[in-house]
């Protein structure tokens, strides 16, 4: 087990944030920690990182107590940007991580290239935007090629292309065996990365495999979306397109784009059908599901 948390509780004064929660994460999994503002995500991550003390309970990381500092050779925690020093450069921070973990300097070059932050690592952090700080924190977190990577809202403040890049890096790390625990409010991103979600509600964990709620939506760019839709309607049962509605559906988004969400017919079959009446110039895939589960658990505001 990479993470083993048993009967953990944490209160701030009389406010109990975590109430006897337990969690086990196996090697190679990606687990998302999800919950509304103030539900206790950062508190939980800070307690497992031993930055905060729990009131009771036990935490083991990679088979050792979380109080054992040797775990940091194989474990990394991307915390929020308050840990950065404004008067130091990004490179200074990376060198510092290298020195504390006794890592080879070559890893800096590798990680900087991978995340693509070369353009600003020599600038002082006080001149960074939020997204630049996030990218630096992310680079610092992956520098030691950790076996267990924990990230507190890694997508916060990132632009869409950087989000895609960070997602791809995380999925590659997972393929190489890294275990990942991340907190996020970005449920669209959570859907792209995992179906294993730990929801926090009233201090308790609700751990779920939400794959049964997740569905693929395919977006096709064609020449005439109306004509394509009416042709597909003979094959796919239709209803109004709405991400909250999990029936099979098909809709035109504009003159050129059509969205198809179905479990009834495979992607190959849809491509073949569209090919009979129109030409596909682009296909995009999105997975949805976490938001539906979130609304069911916490309700709409």
Ligand X SMILES: Nc1ncnc2c1ncn2[C@@H]1O[C@H](COP(=O)(O)OP(=O)(O)OP(=O)(O)O)[C@@H](O)[C@H]1O
Interacting residues toward ligand X by CB under 6 A? 12, 17, 35, 37-43
Closer residue to ligand X, CB minimum distance, 40 or 90: 40
- Min dist CB 6 to ligand X, Å, is 19
Residue 50 · residue 27 · CB < 8 Å? no
Ranges assigned E (strand) in 26-55: 30-34
Residue 140 · residue 67 · CB < 8 Å? no
Closer residue to ligand X, CB minimum distance, 41 or 261: 41
Ranges assigned E (strand) in the chain: 3-12, 15-25, 30-34, 56-61, 64-65, 75-78, 148-152, 179-183, 196-201, 204-209, 215-221, 249-252, 257-261, 282-288
- Min dist CB 19 to ligand X, Å, is 12
Residue 34 · residue 47 · CB < 8 Å? no
Closer residue to ligand X, CB minimum distance, 155 or 218: 155
Residue 209 · residue 29 · CB < 8 Å? no
Closer residue to ligand X, CB minimum distance, 53 or 254: 53
- Min dist CB 212 to ligand X, Å, is 25
- Min dist CB 198 to ligand X, Å, is 12
For the chain, the straight-line distance linking the first and the last C-alpha, in angstroms and rounded, comes to 37
Closer residue to ligand X, CB minimum distance, 43 or 225: 43
- Min dist CB 47 to ligand X, Å, is 9
Burial class of residue 69 in the structure, from the number of CB atoms within 10 Å of its CB (0-12 exposed, 13-18 middle, 19+ buried): exposed
* DSSP 8-state class, residue 124: B
Cα 259 to Cα 15, 249, 250, 252, 270, distances in angstroms: 46, 8, 6, 6, 11
- Min dist CB 100 to ligand X, Å, is 25
Closer residue to ligand X, CB minimum distance, 28 or 36: 36
Closer residue to ligand X, CB minimum distance, 176 or 301: 301
- Min dist CB 31 to ligand X, Å, is 15
């Amino acid at each position: 087990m990479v993470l083993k948390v048993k009967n953990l509780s944490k209160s701030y004064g009389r406010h109990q944030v975590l109430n006897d929660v337990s969690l086990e994460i196996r090697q190679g999994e990606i687990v998302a920690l999800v919950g509304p503002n103030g539900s206790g995500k950062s508190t939980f991550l800070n307690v497992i990182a031993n930055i905060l003390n729990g009131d009771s309970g036990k935490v083991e990381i990679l088979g050792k107590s979380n109080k054992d500092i040797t775990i940091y050779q194989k474990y990394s925690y991307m915390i929020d940007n308050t840990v950065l020093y404004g008067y130091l450069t990004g490179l200074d921070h990376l060198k510092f991580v290298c020195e504390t973990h006794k890592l080879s300097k070559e890893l800096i070059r590798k990680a900087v290239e991978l995340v693509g932050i070369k353009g600003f690592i020599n600038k002082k952090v006080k001149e960074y935007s939020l997204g630049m700080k996030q990218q630096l924190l992310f680079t610092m977190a992956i520098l030691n090629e950790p076996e267990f990577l924990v990230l507190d809202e890694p997508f916060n403040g990132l632009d869409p292309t950087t989000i895609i890049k960070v997602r791809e890096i995380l999925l590659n790390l997972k393929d190489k065996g890294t275990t990942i625990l991340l907190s996020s409010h970005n449920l669209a991103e959570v859907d792209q990365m995992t179906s294993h979600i730990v929801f926090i509600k009233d201090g308790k964990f609700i751990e779920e495999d939400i794959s049964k709620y997740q569905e693929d939506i395919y977006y096709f760019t064609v020449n005439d979306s109306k004509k394509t839709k009416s042709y597909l309607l003979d094959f796919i049962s239709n209803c109004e397109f709405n991400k909250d509605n999990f029936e099979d559906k098909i809709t035109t988004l504009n003159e050129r784009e059509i969205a198809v969400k179905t479990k009834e017919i495979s992607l190959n079959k849809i491509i073949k059908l569209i090919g009979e009446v129109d030409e596909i110039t682009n296909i995009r895939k999105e997975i949805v599901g976490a938001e539906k589960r979130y609304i069911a658990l916490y309700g709409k505001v």
